[in-house]
Amino acid sequence: MGFSDLGLSPDLLRAIEDAGYTTPTPIQEQAIPQVLMGRDVLGVAQTGTGKTAGFTLPMIEILGKGRAKARMPRSLILEPTRELAAQVAENFEKYGKYQKLNMALLIGGVSFADQEKKIDRGVDVLIATPGRLLDHFGRGKILLQDVKILVIDEADRMLDMGFIPDIERIVGVLPKIRRTLFFSATMAPEIRKLADKFLMNPKEISVAKQASTADTVAQHLVVVGSKAKREALRSLIRSENVKNAFIFCNRKRDIGTLQKSLVQHGFSAVALHGDMTQPARTETLAKFKNNEVSLLVCSDVAARGLDIQAVSHVFNFDVPSNAEDYVHRIGRTGRAGMTGRAYTIATPEDAKYVAAIENLIGKPIPRITPDDVDAEELDMSDVGGKRRRGGRSKGKPEAKTDEPKKTASAEKPAAKKAAKDKPVSEKSTREKPAREKSARTEPRPEAPRHEPIRDRRDEPKRERDRRYSRDDEPVEVTAGFGDDVPAFLLRTVKLKKSA
DNA sequence: AAAAAAT
């Protein structure tokens, strides 16, 4: 099955070919003919499935016929974040280059004037975040009664962000007769209700299991004391062949600090979060996309949908407290059939969030310790994967490694660990350079607290738990498994979807 | 508990 079988015109096929695509993804294969037939579509699709082209391609096809009147856009696409809106706009440019489609990007943080000028000239496609669209609408700058195609993208996120009232207002002024395409990564009951409200007899298309993590991403979890997170991150970055990486923080205020600290340690890093000015956001993202910088320290503004080619790693500097965000974050890597690696840095206090994530993805995330990074690779090498430190080649090693096997080995982390534990600790004490330790020798009151991350496998688990426990409350310890307690037994908190 | 989005 090729793009030419989907009913797209030659101009469009040529643009697709220029972009280097030959085969439609499953969602494209299913959605494009439906949209062309004029059917409403309810798409349940993870990011990275080619969803965006799944609606932009047929829209270009349809909009190629006919012309927009001034201030009366013919189609409307709603996106939750400015970056996503911009990304969709780029998609229209890429695929619409042989057609003369007028397009306007209505997002906040930039001047109204340019946007108004475009609207006045007449646009075929309006791509917007809800706030700015309503602003234009409220000022009477835009008329929505000629919108024939409505796309609501990332509906689950729109819901999370409280956009639904805005969306309802907007949909309320659109013509009742239109086609609507509604996409969501998940199909929670509230989302289903919304879909029922906005769609008419939709064709349901589902291409990914709900909340599944791409099996092209090798996941790992590193547990350290909260004071040692930055050090653990640096150590991970150094020991991995990081081409480029997203580094996610939970709080905006931590992002700048972490980014500066990374730069101080000689890394090439920029920051991205929603409190930055829009020009700064655009610039920082462009630098990352062009590989001018390799590390993007960011908030969840970048967690969903951002499609950046060949991202080799995702680091969660903080464990996301919303389990679904974990899936979205690590989905920034391992895209389009390539493989990627995701490392989550957790503190013992994050246990309940980790448990919720593991429950959601249906499998434990293999634990490593900072010193284990080499060992992990060693462990991987016997299933045909990763090179050792120093022995790795430049380029894109992730593209070819045999990830499914890695995932398979991850199913039984306890057994694996038991097998390798002894030699590993010997090896790591021998080989680990003094570098990381001496980097932070300034006296601190809790110095002994972060020293032990290094050797914690060598002490009794009970001791570890006590040290890492908050206050002095008694700690529950599961006995009888030595150091290798199955992850499910360590889940002390019953998982509940966050309120 | 936090981030995002209109100013």
What CATH number should be reported for the domain holding residue A391?
3.40.50.300
Residue A496 lies in a domain: no
pLDDT at A374 over 60: no
Q: Among candidates A57, A59, A54, which has minimal Cα distance to A43?
A: A54
In percent, the amount of chain A with pLDDT more than 70 equals: 72
Q: Which nucleotide is nearest to A82 (CA to C1')?
A: B5
Query: CA A80, C1' B3: Å apart?
Result: 12
Q: Which domain holds residue A34?
A: 3-206
Question: How does DSSP classify residue A178?
Answer: S
Q: How confident is the model at residue A404 (pLDDT cuts 50, 70, 90)?
A: very low
pLDDT at residue number A106:
97
Q: Which nucleotide is nearest to A281 (CA to C1')?
A: B4
Contact assessment for residue A342 and residue A216, using Cβ atoms and an 8 Å cutoff: no
Contact assessment for residue A311 and residue A332, using Cβ atoms and an 8 Å cutoff: yes
Rounded CA gap, A90 and A88, in Å? 5
On whether both A250 and A153 belong to a single domain, the answer is: no
Which residue gives the smallest C-alpha to C1' distance to B6? A131
Of A206, A233, A250, the residue at which a domain comes to its end is A206
On whether both A235 and A162 belong to a single domain, the answer is: no
CA atoms within 13 A on the CB side of A38: 3
> In total, how many domains does chain A have?
2
Which residue gives the smallest C-alpha to C1' distance to B5? A131
Residue A284 Cβ under 7 A from any strand B atom: no
Residue A134 lies in a domain: yes
Of A178, A206, A234, the residue at which a domain comes to its end is A206
Residue A211 lies in a domain: no
**pLDDT, tens digit, 9 for 90 and up, residues A81-129:** 999 999 999 999 999 999 989 999 999 999 999 999 999 999 999 999 9
pLDDT at residue number A190:
87
On whether both A303 and A447 belong to a single domain, the answer is: yes
On whether both A137 and A52 belong to a single domain, the answer is: yes
Query: CA A145, C1' B7: Å apart?
Result: 26
Give the other-Cβ count within 10 Å of A197's Cβ: 12
Q: How far apart are the first and last CA of chain A?
A: 44
**What Å distances lie between residue A273 and A46, A217, A313, A315, CA to CA?**
22, 24, 19, 16
On whether both A200 and A236 belong to a single domain, the answer is: no
Q: How confident is the model at residue A409 (pLDDT cuts 50, 70, 90)?
A: very low
Give the DSSP H/E element, type plus range, for residue A219.
Answer: strand A217-223
Q: Which nucleotide is nearest to A321 (CA to C1')?
A: B1
On whether both A229 and A180 belong to a single domain, the answer is: no
Average pLDDT over residues A248-267: 95
- Give the pairing of strands A75-78 and A149-152: parallel
**pLDDT, tens digit, 9 for 90 and up, residues A40-77:** 999 998 766 788 999 999 999 999 887 889 999 999 99
Residue A131 Cβ under 7 A from any strand B atom: yes
